[in-house]
Amino acid sequence: MTAPDPAPAPAAPREWWRGAAIYQIYPRSFADSNGDGIGDLPGITAHLDYVARLGVDAIWLSPFFTSPMRDFGYDVADYCDVDPIFGTLADFDALVTRAHALGLRVIIDQVYSHTSDDHRWFQGSRSSRHNPRADWYVWSDAKPDGSPPNNWQSVFGGPAWTWDARRAQYYLHNFLSSQPQLHVHKPEVQAALIDTARFWLDRGVDGFRIDAINFAMHDPQLRDNPPAPATNGVRTRPFDFQLHRYNQSHPDIPLFLARLRQTIDGYGACFTVAEVGGADAEAEMKAFTAGSNHLNSAYGFNFLYADALTPALVRDATERWPDVPGMGWPSWAFENHDAPRAVSRWVAPAHRTEFARAKMLLLVCLRGNIFLYYGEELGLTQVDIPFDRLRDPEAIANWPLTLSRDGARTPMPWRADAPALGFTSGTPWLPVGPDHGALAVTAQEADPASLLNLTRRLLAFRAAQPALQTGAMHVLAADGNLLVFTREADGQTLICAFNFGPEPLDWQPAQPDRWRIIERVGGGEQWALGGFAGVVAERLT
C-alpha cells in the first residue's frame, strides 16, 4: 500500500510589517495640547483614533528626543529622554499604550551618524584628548597651514570640519557644525547606540527608522573627495561639487547594522527601515537590507526629490527591487519632512484634486511598504514661508535657491473654522497654509467623495488584496502617460493601469473579458482612462 503524500507544510505567517502602510507624524506640527504653538506627544495621543481610522498599520514618529532644536530634533542631546517641548517619558508611554490598544505599531527615529554638540558624550570628548570618550567622535589635527584635514563639505553648506580650541583639533560634521560626527567605527560607540535602541524597545516600540545611516562611517584615512562631473544644473551648496566617496558609505556599515539587528531580533516582531540618499542609494540600500541579518527595509529619494511623477520613474524605481531570493524589501514614500509636498511638485494647480486621488491609488498598489506623510491624505499643498518666518537651517543658509523644508512641515489642519485650523490655541510655530482650511479634516469628513475618505477606502482595499500586500510586480507598459503593471500572490493576479496626464487614454488589457475591474479612481468608463485616473482589475479564474 502506497503511503499518502505528506501534507504540505503550512506557509509561514506574514511579518506584520511586510506590505504595511505606515503614517509619518512630524511631532512639532501634528497637534498641540498645551497652547504653546508646538505639537507634542499628548496631542498625538489625542488624535490616534483618527490615524487608526485611516487603516494604517503603524505610525512613525520623527524625533522627539531632548535637543537644542537647531535641526529640529535630528540633533539629539539625549537619546533616552523626551524633550520638554514634546512632553515626558510618561507621555510617550501613554502614547504607546494607546497606539497598541488601537492596533497601531509605533516606529521611532534613531539618529546614529551624529549627535548634538550639547550631548554629554561630545562634551566629554571635546574636553581633552585623553578622556574616556576622546575618540567617540571624529577628530583630526589641522594641516601644517592650519586648514582642515581634507576637502569634505557639509550637506548644509561650508566645510565639514570645525576647529575646537579645547582640543586644538578639528571635528567632523556632515550636517550642521552643531551636529558632530560620531565615530561609529568604534565598537564602544556601536554598543552605546545599541543600548539606546534597547532603551526604547524596552518601552514597547515596534521598530526604528534609521536616519542618514549611510553617513554613519567615514574613511579613516580621511582622503579627499574627488570633484563631481560638470552639470548643467544649479548647484546651491559646496557639497554638490563633490563625489562623496570618502565621507560616507563606508563598506563596514552593514557590519554594524548586523550587530544592531541581532539585538532587535531579541524583542520579537520589530521593523527596521533605513533612510538612504545620494548617488549610490540603491546599492547601499541593498547592502543594508541583504539577507535576514540586516535591516528589514530601506527607502531612498526616488520619488521624494523627483520633479515629475512619470511611468518611466515608477518603472525604474520598482524594477531595481525584483522579487528574488536575498533581495531586500523596499519601502516607498511620495512625501516626507525633507521634501516638498507632492501635489505642489508634480502637477499644475488646476489638476491637483484628481491627481492627488490617482497618486494615492498608485501608492497603495506599489510592491513594498508605503509611507504616508501627515496631511498627505488631505492633499496638503506646499506652503510658501516668508524669509522672516523660516526655521529650516538649510533654507536660511541657501536662501532663496533652496526650497524650504518648512513648507512641508506646517501645522495639521484639523478644523476648518477654528483659529490656527485647530492645531493649537496659541500661535503656531509655522504659519498654517492659506488654502489648508478647505482641506481640513472637518471639511473632508463631511464629504463622502473627499480625498480623506478615498484614502481610507484605498488602504482598506490594499489590506484586502494579498497581491497588493506581498505580491510580485511586473511592469507591462510605461509609455508616455500610461503605466500598466501586474501584482501576483497566493493565486491572485491584479492588473493596475494609470494615466498620468490630463487627456483621456484608450487602453484595455489583452483578453479584457478575463478581467473584472475592482477599483477605479478618476474618470472613464470600462477600460478607458480619464485624465489622472487609474483602475485595478482582478483576473477571473
Residue environment code for 276-293, b if the CB has 16+ CB neighbours within 10 A, otherwise e: bbbebbbebbbbbbbeee
Q: What are the residue ranges of helices labelled H in 40-111?
A: 41-46, 48-54, 89-101
Round to whole Å and give the CA distance between 45 and 509.
46
- Residue 275 catalytic? yes
Round to whole Å and give the CA distance between 421 and 429.
13
Round to whole Å and give the CA distance between 216 and 183.
8
Strand partners, 475: 485
- Residue 354 catalytic? no
Q: Report DSSP state, residue 229.
A: P
Phi, psi of 426 (to 5 degrees): -105, -150
> Parallel, antiparallel, or unpaired for β 482-489 and 515-521?
unpaired
Among the listed residues 74, 114, 22, the one whose alpha carbon sits nearest the alpha carbon of residue 335: 22
> Parallel, antiparallel, or unpaired for β 65-66 and 78-82?
antiparallel
Q: Mind spelling out the 3-state secondary structure of 303-331?
A: CCCCCCCCHHHHHHHHHCCCCCCCCCEEE
Which one from 117, 211, 377, 488 is the annotated catalytic residue? 211
Question: CA-based angle 203:208:209, to the nearest 5?
Answer: 150
Which one from 275, 284, 354, 406 is the annotated catalytic residue? 275
Starting at the edge strand found earlier in the chain, the sheet holding 515-521 runs: 472-479, 482-489, 492-499, 533-539, 515-521
Phi, psi of 483 (to 5 degrees): -125, 130
Among the listed residues 376, 338, 384, the one whose alpha carbon sits nearest the alpha carbon of residue 359: 376
Grid cell of 70 as nine digits: 537647531
Strand partners, 337: none
Taken as a whole, the chain contains a residue count of 541
Check if the beta carbon of residue 204 is closer than 8 Å to that of residue 93.
yes
Grid cell of 524 as nine digits: 472613464
Give me the sign of the Cα torsion angle 391, 137, 262, 248: positive
Q: Mind spelling out the 3-state secondary structure of 424-445?
A: CCCCCCCCCCCCCHHHCHHHHH
> What residues contact residue 100 under an 8 Å CB cut-off, 6+ apart?
106, 204
Q: Report DSSP state, residue 378.
A: G
Q: What are the residue ranges of helices labelled H in 153-302?
A: 187-202, 253-265, 281-289
Grid cell of 379 as nine digits: 492633499
Strand partners, 272: 208
**Residues taking part in catalysis:** 211, 275
